[in-house]
Amino acid sequence: MSVPAAYVGVILIWSTTPLAIQWSSLGAGYAFASFSRMLLGAALCLVLMRCSRRPLPWTRVARQTYLAAGLGIYGSIITSYWAAQFVPSGWISVMYGLMPLFTGVLAYFWLHERSLSAAKIAGLLLGLVGLAVVFASGLHLSVQVAVGIAVLLVGVLIQAASMVAIKRIAAPMSALAMTTGALLVTLPLFFGTWLWAEGTLPQHIDTRATWAIVYLGAFGSVLGFVLYFYVVQHMAAASAALITLITPVFSLLLGKTLNGEPLTTQLLLGTAAILGGLGLHQWGDGVVRRLHAQLKGVVD
């Protein structure tokens, strides 16, 4: 599989996922919508594994990978579904734009990737300023929106830790096997959450919600995670997380166009600061080196 093609695929799927999450909960409830999505995704993965005639690896490192990936999926998905009750869909993607920054910090301490240069630290600080601005924008709308943003931040941290853990374990397995094992790990967690939070089948599910659940189960859970784990396996942790540099812009536009979501000045400023921090985190060192080389050439 082409790594760039997988990278683009993840961007397209993740850009539409926040809006689909909101639509999937219409009349269904966030816990039932998330559980049914994962159940469908796990079933499709098992079918694909069966068709490929490959057994699911069950070595010690494979089980560790399933657990790390599964906990990351559960933590990020359940917080996103809960927060989507209060937070506009495009804002969810903006919050996940912080993931490369958190991933870089965790990789520095956990993977010993000595990459926390002055430019990357400046990018992290700028991203945190953007987070504060977005949080203030949410608080201006309502306390529930602000709480939703805080819950989303927890999900971002969990997902970043999961990505770094997968890189640390470095199990030799296919992305499909990793996705299948991870989704199987999440099923009891999502089922238990549904029993605890709702416990009853929805009386009526909106047609749009039904199609959103199917889309999320097939594309958001199966294809999206397969491509995502493939990218994680073949790219550095911080670079793989840069997918979230592009998705917030697409998600905000989709939310505004298709869902009539607000685009406040504070939100746009916060989003710009977060994306600026990501850009500084990724390309700041190269810019500094080029400027240093040019200055050195002038002096010489």
Q: How much is the pLDDT for 75?
A: 95
pLDDT at 117 over 80: no
Q: How far apart are CA 298 and CA 148, in angstroms?
A: 52
Question: Model confidence at 197, in pLDDT bands (50, 70, 90)?
Answer: very high
Q: How much is the pLDDT for 267?
A: 86
Q: How much is the pLDDT for 241?
A: 57
Helices 3-24 and 60-83: crossing angle in degrees, nearest 10, is 40
Q: How much is the pLDDT for 181?
A: 94
**Among 271, 282, 288, 280, residue whose Cα is nearest residue 241:** 282
- Check if the beta carbon of residue 217 is closer than 8 Å to that of residue 34: no
Cβ atoms within 10 Å of 115's Cβ, excluding its own: 16
pLDDT at 108 over 60: yes
Q: Which domain holds residue 134?
A: 3-299
Q: pLDDT, tens digit, for every residue of 227-262?
A: 877 887 777 655 665 676 778 888 888 888 888 888
What percentage of the chain exceeds 70 in pLDDT? Answer: 90
Residue bearing the bigger pLDDT, 284 or 45: 45
Q: How far apart are CA 114 and CA 257, in angstroms?
A: 42
Mean pLDDT of the chain: 85
Q: How much is the pLDDT for 292?
A: 60
Length reported for the chain = 300
Cβ atoms within 10 Å of 188's Cβ, excluding its own: 11
Q: How far apart are CA 157 and CA 106, in angstroms?
A: 10
What b-and-e string marks burial along 76-105, b requiring 16 or more CB atoms within 10 Å of the CB?
A: bbbbbbbbbebbbbbbbbbbbbbbbbbbbb
Torsion of CA 236, 242, 243, 245, to 10 degrees: 180
Q: How many domains does the chain have?
A: 1
Tokens of 254: 């989709």
Task: Return all residues near 119 (Cβ < 8 A) that are at least 6 apart.
Answer: 280, 281, 284, 285, 287, 288
> Mean of the pLDDT values across residues 73-95?
91
Query: With helix as H, strand as E and coil as C, how does the chain read?
Result: CCHHHHHHHHHHHHHHHHHHHHHHCCCCCHHHHHHHHHHHHHHHHHHHHHHHCCCCCCCHHHHHHHHHHHHHHHHHHHHHHHHCCCCCHHHHHHHHCCHHHHHHHHHHHHCCCCCCCHHHHHHHHHHHHHHHHHHHHHHHHCHHHHHHHHHHHHHHHHHHHHHHHHHHHCCCCCHHHHHHHHHHHHHHHHHHHHHHHCCCCCCCCCHHHHHHHHHHHHHHHHHHHHHHHHHHHHCCHHHHHHHHHCHHHHHHHHHHHHHCCCCCHHHHHHHHHHHHHHHHHHHHHHHHHHHHHHHHHHHC
Note the pTM of the prediction, 2 decimals.
0.85
- Check if the beta carbon of residue 248 is closer than 8 Å to that of residue 71: no
